Amino acid sequence: MGRVVAQEELARELAARPGARVVFTNGCFDILHVGHVATLRKARSLGDILVVGLNSDGSVSRLKGRGRPYMPQQDRAELLATLEPVDFVVIFDEPTPEGLIASVKPAVHVKGGDYTPDELPEARLVRSYGGEVVVVPEVPGKSTSALVAKIKEDV
């Protein structure tokens, strides 16, 4: 089972595991769904340690708009930490995970969605130190937006 840690504690944990292949992914994880789980499983399969960067409440609000997040950051972090593929969860407040990635320097940065690796602002950073960027396709119909639309439709 994973743990929610501060960035400084994560650095100590990773330093204690030299040679481990670190995989990093990030997101809001505002309403956890099967699409998230599929991305996390795929990410974990690419290395030895999976670190999840979680957007803070303020960051989610700035990215997604008024009324978001639906769940507070500590709840989202605790839920993620209980998932089998996840080793560490770190909350970050910036609009992109670049600062956290620069600190962690993962071998692989995984993003779920319909992006291409070159569309990700952090791709250049990851590649600058020899890391790999992997985009995991969305599970069709499984997204926070689709789930929220379904809930609103049923109300």
Does residue 144 register a pLDDT over 80?
A: no
Average pLDDT of the segment spanning 70-85: 97
* CA-based R_g, the chain, Å: 15
Query: Could you give the number of structural domains in the chain?
Result: 1
pLDDT of residue 143: 72
> Given pLDDT bands bounded at 50, 70 and 90, which one contains residue 91?
very high
Distances in Å between the Cα of 93 and the Cα atoms of 83, 90, 155 are 22, 10, 33
Does residue 105 register a pLDDT over 80?
A: yes
The predicted-structure confidence for 106-139, as pLDDT tens digits, reads as follows 999 999 987 888 889 999 999 999 999 999 988 7
pTM above 0.95, yes or no: no
The predicted-structure confidence for 55-65, as pLDDT tens digits, reads as follows 999 999 999 88
Q: Where are the alpha helices (DSSP H) in 28-130?
A: 34-44, 57-64, 73-81, 98-104, 123-128
Provide the CATH number for the domain around residue 50: 3.40.50.620
- Domain that includes residue 108, residue range: 3-154
Share of the chain above pLDDT 70, in %: 99
- Prior bond of 97 cis (ω within 30°): no
pLDDT of residue 78: 97
Average pLDDT of the segment spanning 54-83: 95
Share of the chain above pLDDT 90, in %: 73
Name the DSSP class of 119: G
> Given pLDDT bands bounded at 50, 70 and 90, which one contains residue 86?
very high
